[in-house]
Amino acid sequence: MKDYISRTIPTLVPGTASAHLSTPRGGVRPGVKPHRAPAFRWSWKLARVAGIDVYVHGTFVLLIAFIAFSDAIAGHGAEAVASRTLLILAVFATVVLHEFGHALTARRFGVGTRDITLLPIGGVARLDRMPDKPNQQLLVALAGPGVNLVIAAVLFGVVRLLGGGLGAETVLQGGGSFLSQLLWINVSLAVFNLLPGYPMDGGRVLRALLAMRLPPERATQTGARVGQGVAVALSFVGLFMSPLLIVIAVFVWIGAQAEYSVSKARAALTGLFVRDAMITDFKVVSPTHPLSHAVELTLTGFQQDFPVMDGSRLVGVLTHADVLRGLAERGSQLVVQDAARTEFSTATSSEPIDGAWTRMRQDDCRVAMVLDNDRVVGLLTLAKVGELLALAAASRRPGGLALDAERGTSS
């Protein structure tokens, strides 16, 4: 059993796949693409399937190389090394199908998927948001393990048709045919992912069930706490079965804590809008300005990111990172239009701030242009949202910031 877990544990967390779920809404300017980047750096695009980009992380290639090298050092023949490598690739192919189960089910409810990334610990599907209704959330969460069970059922029929054995004990001892091993691995993936802890699918299932009776944020926080309990249990079991279970437990604990923190932050931002935090006193740069002009504005003020305006028309965004990169590569006389980006996140002043904040974090974007009727009316930065969260924590009043903002508006 220990050897079986050690061999399959890297694939036991594809349900963490849904760890990048959120609820951004609106705020994208027509004709301007928001900035899109892979969920993880050092990822390479494999393909685009059903309109969804599929990436593989560089560490996954290292995993395959490490396993093949380990088998070779252990004296296994070339056939055994090739067979095991093929099994791992097949398992990760089912992980990708697992993620597409989430993605395509979410699409039925009008929710898009940004991309899917293959990691050594499983897969990650970035949905734009979760559906609003708990029953829809439940179906999206169950879709991934459901795919694994369907694959297992198909493999069961094929193995039976070929007259092969299906004994779980043989597979647990490291034996069995290729198809029977793949069958039981898919069963274990489905069962493991249904453990009731974030960021696994079972945590999403629990959260959806709780949301049918509790307020959304309270349901999320309760699910996150249960997930941390699952992490403690996994680490305890890992002491007796496999140290890799302890590694999995660490990931589950971190995922659950992150979910809890995000939920608390969203609760603090409830009732607030982008206009409550956007910067309205800002400077702009022209496409023909040299970078030295942006440097001067940065040094003489607080602003680090600038709208690029061609007259009254927004044509790009010059971020602090763009300035630094331009200075390093081509010097201060490089014109802004050659350093700025034309794909960026946007928001509207009237949209809830939690949606804009979530969208910015997903896009790995530190600033969003606030547009009303195609006119730049402000800048929303992650730093300003961080200030709001700090004030909320200091006030210790649920909804206190929203109430203060409402009073300020009415006065």
**CATH entry, 274-410, from 3.40.50.80, 3.30.465.10, 3.10.580.10, 3.40.50.300:** 3.10.580.10
**Phi, psi torsion values for 175, nearest 5 degrees:** -105, -160
- Please tell me the predicted confidence (pLDDT) of residue 103: 93
pLDDT, residue 146, reads 95
Which DSSP string corresponds to 201-252? HHHHHHHHHHHTTS-HHHHHHHHHHHHHHHHHHHHHHHHHS-HHHHHHHHHH
pTM: 0.69
Average per-residue pLDDT for the chain: 79
Indicate the range of 32-41, 377-386, 390-399 predicted with least confidence.
32-41
- Give the tens place of pLDDT for each residue, 187-228: 988 988 898 877 788 988 998 999 899 888 888 888 888 888
- Residue 282, pLDDT above cutoff 80: yes
pLDDT at 19 over 70: no
Taking a C-beta distance cutoff of 8 angstroms, is the pair 18, 353 a contact? no
Span of 253-262, 269-278, 399-408 with lowest mean pLDDT: 399-408
Domain ranges of the chain: 6-193, 195-269, 274-410
pLDDT value, residue 165? 64
Highest mean pLDDT among 14-23, 95-104, 352-361: 95-104
> SS3 of 308, please?
strand
Rounded to 10°, the helix 400-410/382-395 angle is 110
Which tens digit of pLDDT belongs to each residue from 80-136?
777 777 888 888 889 899 999 999 999 999 888 888 888 766 778 888 777 878 999
Residue 132 — φ and ψ, nearest 5°? -75, -35
What is the sign, positive or negative, of the torsion defined by CA atoms of 395, 400, 404, 409? positive
Indicate if the pLDDT at residue 20 is higher than 80.
no
pLDDT bin (cut points 50, 70, 90) of residue 260 is confident
Using the predicted structure, report yes or no on whether residue 353 has a pLDDT greater than 50: yes
User: Does residue 304 surpass a pLDDT of 80?
Assistant: yes
